[in-house]
């Protein structure tokens, strides 16, 4: 199986929407429940375009045989006080997990981030999602704290960890403002 990692473009919108719906169906670790995603194809195209226009955001896809099997969205802040920080969402189809795809997405992120203003990467993860936490820790993320009663899943409260990774940059903070 040959996996290709690439920056998503508007022409990938249909595949991304299909992937997101499939992830919503097969995983309780994504934010949306199966019937909640209301994005139209046009909205997804516009979202991909907005990522492409932002210097502090990127949308990376993992593809096999021209079908997306995973993605990572990295949305950077857009004002002076938070443009150094970016929030990450990652999803990989269950049948392709454990094959290094998540690690590959994080490596692509690291390469991209070196050429940006991004200093802080952050994400949230459900405290019982040990596989994802292992991936994040392996890729340099640390737990900062717990968001108690952050989500309700199947009528049960679920806590999340807030995790971050600080990227060491050569410039001093005064040079970045």
> pLDDT tier at 38 (50, 70, 90 boundaries)?
confident
Q: For 126-155, what is the mean pLDDT? A: 96
Reported as a single tens digit per residue, the pLDDT across 60-74 is: 999 999 999 999 999
Domain 4-176, CATH: 3.40.630.30
Q: Which strand (E) or helix (H) includes residue 32?
A: none
Instruction: Please give the pLDDT value at position 78.
Output: 87
Reported as a single tens digit per residue, the pLDDT across 95-127 is: 999 999 999 999 999 999 988 989 999 999 999
Q: Is 133 exposed, middle or buried (0-12, 13-18, 19+ CB in 10 A)?
A: middle
Cα angle value 39/17/140 (rounded, 5°)? 105
What does each C-alpha distance from 169 to 60, 91, 177 come to in angstroms?
A: 22, 28, 14
- In angstroms, rounded to a whole number, what is the distance separating the alpha carbons of residues 2 and 65? 8
HSE-up (13 A, CA, CB side) for residue 70 = 23
pLDDT at 172 over 80: no
Residue ranges covered by each domain of the chain? 4-176
Instruction: Please give the pLDDT value at position 171.
Output: 57
Partnered with residue 68 across adjacent β-strands are 63
């Amino acid at each position: 199986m040959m996996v290709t990692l690439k920056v998503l473009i508007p022409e990938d919108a249909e595949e991304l929407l299909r992937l997101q719906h499939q992830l919503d169906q097969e995983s309780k670790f994504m934010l949306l429940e199966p019937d909640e995603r209301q994005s139209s194809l046009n909205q997804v195209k516009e979202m991909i375009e907005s990522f492409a226009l932002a210097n502090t955001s990127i949308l990376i896809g993992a593809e096999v045989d021209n079908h997306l099997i995973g993605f990572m969205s990295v949305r950077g802040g857009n004002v002076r006080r938070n443009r150094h920080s970016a929030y990450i969402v990652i999803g990989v189809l269950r049948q392709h997990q454990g094959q290094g795809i998540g690690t590959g997405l994080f490596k692509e992120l690291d390469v991209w981030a070196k050429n940006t203003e991004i200093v802080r990467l952050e994400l949230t993860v459900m405290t019982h999602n040990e596989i994802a936490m292992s991936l994040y820790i392996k890729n340099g993320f640390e737990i900062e704290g717990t968001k108690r009663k952050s989500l309700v899943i199947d009528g049960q409260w679920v806590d999340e960890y807030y995790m971050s990774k600080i990227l060491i940059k050569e410039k001093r903070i005064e040079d970045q403002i």
